[in-house]
Amino acid sequence: MASSLYCLKFVYLLSFLSTIHLVAVPSFSFVQPLCHGHERSYLLQFKESFAIINNKSISFDPSAYPKVASWTLEGNNSDCCSWDGVECDKSNGHVIGLDLNSSYLYGSINSSSSLFNLVHLQRLNLADNHFNHSQIPSTVSNLSKLTYLNLTNSTFSGQIPLELSQLSQMSSLDLSYNHLEIKNPSLGRLVENLTCLENLDLSLVSIISIVPNILANLSSLTSLRLYDCKLHGEFPVGIFKLPNLRVLNVRKNKGLTGYLPDFQWKSPLEEMILANTSFSGKLPASVGNLGSLTEIDMRRCNFSGLIPSSLGNLTNLNYLDLSLNTFEGHIPSSFGNLIKLSFLHLAENELNGTIPFKLANLTQLTHLFLYYNHLSGQIPFGLMNLTKLSSLGLAGNHFAGEIPSSIFNLENLEALDLSANNFAGVVEFDKFVKLRKLTSLHLSDCGVSLIINETSDNTTLTKFQNLGLGSCNLSKFPNYLANQDELKWLHLATNNIHGQVPEWFWNVSKENLEVIDLSENFLTSLGQYPVPLPWTRLAILDITSNRLQGSLPIPSFSTLEYHVSNNSFTGKISELICNMSSLQVLDLSINNLSGSLPQCLHNFGDSLLILDLRRNTFEGSIPQTWTNGSKLLMINFSQNKFQGLLPRSLAKCIMLKALDFSNNQFNDTFPSWLGNLPNLKLLILRSNKLYGPISTHKAKYKFPSLQIFDLSYNSFTGSLPLKFFQYSNSSRFDSASHLTYIEVNSSFIVQNSFQNYLWNLQYSYPMIMTNKGVVTDYKKVQEFFIALDFSSNRFDGDILESIGNLNLKGLCLLNLSNNILIGHIPQSLKNLVNLESLDLSQNKLFGEIPQQLTQLTFLESFNVSHNHLVGPIPQGKQFNTFPSNSFEGNPRLCGSPLTKKCESSEVSLPSPTTPEESKDLGSPFQFGWKIVLIGYGFGLVVGVIIGQVVSARNHDWLIKTFGMRKLVRRLI
């Protein structure tokens, strides 16, 4: 399919030999003149300057052969005009054409090449050879009669010489697919005198400039191809008006802006390829006047507005791709007139309404993609007339009703994606299996329940490559899987599969399976499984959220992501696990695993991004084996029984964003050696046996990105480590980052013969803070969110007045409770304007509560209880909302909400309590009622995108088949 589309496109391109004008041969001469001796020797010299290397990397065209092999003086062969690829003028014998494309020529070429002595040359084709990164020699200007020059894909490099601009006869210039650039001269100067140009192809030439207006003066242009030239600026609208232009291709120039003009003229335009640019605006109704169009490709631009129904006038259209824009409104029913259409792609827009029943007229359609819009209604029965359909993508809409049974008549279907819809009813899976060509089926979360009838003869059935049956109400593993050996990905997540994984499962598609997702079922046992698991290409294994018991399976050593979270696995981690030397994600969280970690964990050193061991019962110390060059981004050791020192070698993991040691028994001083990690945003040390003062001396370069910093429930002493925020990276408080989260994305593409699937994994740090019974649920931590929890330690001294002046503008949560802090509550706290929660309780603070704190308009929770505060409680704004227990245990505070009324003297004469007076309140550690409970966990989003890849066209057709936002798993 793919290659035939490709061929169609180029079939009309004439081989140049057939374009040669026959010159009348004078009637008195019946003998064609022989070639000229000097030209013959130029040709032979040219031949000698290259090696002939019969290899695909030199000439990739399947029909390539070494044409110059016939260039020899041996035998009766000295007439060079009869040599392969050589064309002579029939009247005078001069060499006027050389067609050496795909001839396995390998070697450099320079200005002194004898080629440039062939001054009668009109046509020169050296395409698809390998000129070893030569520059295009400037002596090309000797060939002043050249009308045709084709150097495509022949490994030329460097600047295109200005001399080329002297070839004023040039009508066809193809320099595409090399490593060329156009800097000086500019594109404008290069072509300004090439007024005869008909075909210009500079695809992949690095032009890095605007498109010069002068191109709009080249009135002979019939084709202009500037694919992937790094163009920018606004596209000259005059080019659309070129009277002879048939092909316009500016695909993949993301910097190129432009709009479509009002087409009130006759135009022979056949191909309008603007995909992957920043063209914007509406598709004007007048586009319906371009009656010659056969191909419109506007994929991934910025077009918007309605799709004009006049598109239905373009009855020659064969290919229409408007995907990945923001078109809205309905699919015009006039599309039913486009009876030559074979490819229709409207996916990932904002279209609504139903599928027009007239689309049933498009009997030539092979590809129909409408996925990820807002389409609704039923699938029109008539669509099933589209018997040539090979790919049908309707995922991610609101289609309802039953899946029409006639879909099972589409015998040519190779890929069907109905996932993420609102269909209803029960469908027999066998019916899909009988579609003999179907290799890719995605029904996950489409709304139907599948029944699997196991009676049919399994051996003759379809071989699937991709099978997505997530959320299909399956209650067992489909037996027919046992005969699948081409399967690349298998998604059975979120079904009702109970019990043991069948034994035959370990033999399914051993050579091909790359992704297995069995998560969110009720599996209790893996039964007898091979060690390691048998799939030699396995990349992703996800069995999270089942009820699996026993020891941890060891996946194939090829595995990139290993997810077993939220099961009941027990026992130690085997050393064998370290053989997964490409591992990127290791998520063993929420199991009953125990013992110490294998020393060999450093084997993951180079590849591991995410390590989550949270909520197990691991013990012992953590291996000191992290290495330089580590890519680790997130590590979670929390809620285990780890002991001993914190692993110093983590200081080498310079990419780290999040590190959680909380709820263990680490016995160490503060890890100031982590202070040089440039990206560390979360550091959670809560509830360990950490002790001693925290030196912020030389704090200038410490913890430059820290924003969630939890030291609570340890035995730290000395003054508060606020100085880390004195010189911090101000960019972390950029308002621009307000919509981003602390997360890690990784993706994996399963490549299939004609479809690609992108598995997109997004790990973010969800966070729950329970404060005074108010649960604040941060599903993800926004990049700007800042929280400091230093509570329940032995910090002493003042809360410095300078706190309000630190780089903490975004601070949302500050908890200093249950320490031995003395002194006043600083007025400057009022500067922390984003503060939502402030807890200073159970310290030895004295003086009054500063009136200025009423300026904290986001403050939801405030606690200063059990201090030695005096005087009136500030009144108004948020302070009217705080309950009395926010203030209790301060006998000399007065005013609402406390019952104690203020004396007038107290209002005017605040008298600070001395530290002596506060002694009788006892140690702050006697208060055990604490407070902030923070659970950190990894949340998991898995997205699946099916990509339709027609490699010859080099399209990146991606079909999103799962939003999978529904698969956000809260693991706390």
Ligand X SMILES: *[C@@H]1O[C@H](CO)[C@@H](O)[C@H](O)[C@H]1NC(C)=O
How does strand 708-710 pair with strand 786-789?
parallel
Q: Which stretch binds ligand X (CB under 6 A): 172-180, 471-479, 663-671, 864-872?
A: 172-180
Residues 944 and 490: their CA atoms lie apart, in Å, by: 12
- Cα separation, 423 vs 405, in Å, equals 13
- Interface with ligand X (CB under 6 A), residue total 19
Residues 7 to 66 in contact with ligand X, rule: CB under 6 A: 10, 13, 57, 60
* Nearest CB to ligand X, comparing residues 45 and 951: 951
Closest to ligand X by CB, 217 or 536: 217
Q: Which residues pair with 744 in a beta bridge?
A: 763
**498, HSE (Cβ side, Cα atoms, 13 Å):** 1
Q: Say if CB 519 and CB 547 are below 8 A apart.
A: no
Triad 459, 465, 468: Cα angle to 5°? 105
Q: Which of 111, 165, 807, 852 binds ligand X (CB under 6 A)?
A: 165
Measured from the CB atom, is 152 or 616 closer to ligand X?
152
Residue 588: which of 640, 624, 521, 523 has the closest Cα?
640
In the complex, least distance from residue 172 CB atom to ligand X, rounded to whole angstroms: 5
Evaluate whether 418 touches 440 at the Cβ level (below 8 Å): no
Least distance in angstroms from the C-beta of 121 to ligand X: 16
Stretch that binds ligand X, among 24-32, 169-177, 688-696, 835-843 (CB under 6 A): 169-177
User: What single letter denotes the amino acid at residue 791?
Assistant: S
Smallest separation, CB 83 to ligand X (Å): 19
Question: Which amino acid appears at position 210 of this protein?
Answer: I
Phi-psi region of 727 (alpha: psi -120 to 50; beta: other; left: phi over 0): alpha
Q: Which stretch binds ligand X (CB under 6 A): 170-178, 563-571, 813-821, 956-964?
A: 170-178
* Residue 288 beta carbon to ligand X: minimum distance, rounded to whole angstroms: 30
Min dist CB 179 to ligand X, Å, is 12
Give 13 or 24: the residue with its C-beta nearer to ligand X. 13
**Residues 683/706, Cβ–Cβ less than 8 Å:** yes
Please, which residue, 187 or 803, has the CB nearer to ligand X? 187
CA distances from 755 to 466, 488, 746, 908, 948 (A): 9, 11, 20, 78, 4
Residues 338/312, Cβ–Cβ less than 8 Å: yes
* Residue bearing tokens 């996916």: 347
Query: Does 3 contact ligand X by CB under 6 A?
Result: no
CA-to-CA distance for 536 and 510, rounded, in angstroms?
A: 6
Tell the smallest beta-carbon distance from residue 681 to ligand X (Å). Answer: 43
Q: Tell me the closest approach of the beta carbon of residue 82 to ligand X, in angstroms.
A: 22
| Smallest separation (angstroms) from ligand X to the CB of 84 | 15
Restricting to residues 683-722, name those near ligand X by CB under 6 A: none
Q: Check residue 517 for interaction with ligand X (CB under 6 A).
A: no
- Taking CB under 6 A as the criterion, the residue among 39, 87, 89, 201 binding ligand X is 201
**Residue 493 token pair:** 């997540």
> Does residue 177 interact with ligand X by CB under 6 A?
yes
To the nearest whole angstrom, how small is the minimum distance from the Cβ of residue 174 to ligand X?
4
Q: How far apart (Å, rounded) are the C-alpha atoms in residues 532 and 92?
A: 76
Binding to ligand X (CB under 6 A): which residues in 180-199? 189, 192-193, 199
Residue 274 tokens, joined: 């603007």
Nearest distance in Å: CB 219, ligand X: 17
Instruction: Check if the beta carbon of residue 549 is closer than 8 Å to that of residue 523.
Output: no
Beta bridge partners, 174, equal: 150, 201
Q: Are 306 and 331 in contact (CB under 8 A)?
A: no
With beta carbons less than 8 A apart as the criterion, state whether 788 and 499 touch: no
Q: How many residues does the chain have?
A: 972
Collapsed DSSP state (helix, strand, coil) of residue 162: helix
Hey, is 541 helix, strand or coil?
strand
Site for ligand X in 121-160 (CB under 6 A): 127-128, 150, 152-153
Nearer CB in complex with ligand X: 6/506:
6
Closest separation in Å from C-beta 137 to ligand X = 17
Token digits of residue 939: 């949340």
DSSP state string for 257-282:
EE------S-----EEE-TTEEEEE-
Q: Nearer Cβ to ligand X, position 165 or 304?
A: 165
What's the angle, vertex CA 180, arms to CA 175 and CA 183, rounded to 5? 110
Cβ closest to ligand X, residue 127 vs residue 493: 127
The rounded distance, in Å, linking the Cα atoms of 520 and 498 is: 10
Q: For the CA atoms of the chain, what is the radius of gyration?
A: 36
**Identity of the residue, 177 or 480, whose beta carbon is nearer to ligand X in the bound complex:** 177
Judged by CB, which is closer to ligand X: 133, or 689?
Answer: 133
- To ligand X, the closest distance from the beta carbon of 186 in angstroms equals 9
* Complex with ligand X: residue 101 or 764, whichever CB lies closer: 101
Q: Report the residue number, 58 or 658, with the smaller CB distance to ligand X.
A: 58
Residues 246 to 285 in contact with ligand X, rule: CB under 6 A: none
Q: Considering beta carbons, is residue 1 or 214 the nearer one to ligand X?
A: 214
Question: At its nearest, how many Å lie between ligand X and the CB of residue 149?
Answer: 9
Shortest distance, position 740 Cβ to ligand X, whole Å: 37
Scan residues 71-110 and list those touching ligand X (CB under 6 A): 101
- Considering beta carbons, is residue 192 or 619 the nearer one to ligand X? 192
Closest contact distance (angstroms) between CB of 194 and ligand X is 9
- Minimum separation from the CB atom of position 42 to ligand X (A): 23
Q: Where are the alpha helices (DSSP H) in 177-257?
A: 187-191
> What residues from 394 to 453 belong to the interface with ligand X (CB under 6 A)?
none
Nearest residue (CB) to ligand X, 165 versus 292:
165
Only segment of 171-179, 801-809, 846-854, 930-938 that touches ligand X (CB under 6 A): 171-179
Tell me how far apart the alpha carbons of residues 249 and 238 are, in angstroms, rounded to a whole number: 15
Q: Tell me the closest approach of the beta carbon of residue 199 to ligand X, in angstroms.
A: 4
Beta bridge partners of 500: 525
CB of 278 to ligand X, least distance (A): 24
- Residue number, 136 or 492, with CB nearest to ligand X: 136
| Among residues 39, 89, 174, 321, the one that binds ligand X under rule CB under 6 A | 174
Kindly tell me which of 12 and 30 has the beta carbon lying closer to ligand X: 12
How far apart (Å, rounded) are the C-alpha atoms in residues 625 and 312? 65
Using the minimum distance from each CB to ligand X, give the nearer residue, 170 or 497.
170
230 vs 819: CA distance, rounded Å: 60
CA distance 573 to 550: 12
Strands (E), 145-275: 148-150, 157-159, 172-174, 179-181, 199-201, 223-225, 232-234, 247-249, 253-258, 271-273
CA distance 228 to 226: 6
Q: Which of residues 346-375 bind ligand X (CB under 6 A)?
A: none
| Phi, then psi, of 872 in degrees rounded to 5 | -75, 145
Contact footprint for ligand X (CB under 6 A): 10, 13, 57, 60, 101, 127-128, 150, 152-153, 165, 172, 174, 177, 189, 192-193, 199, 201
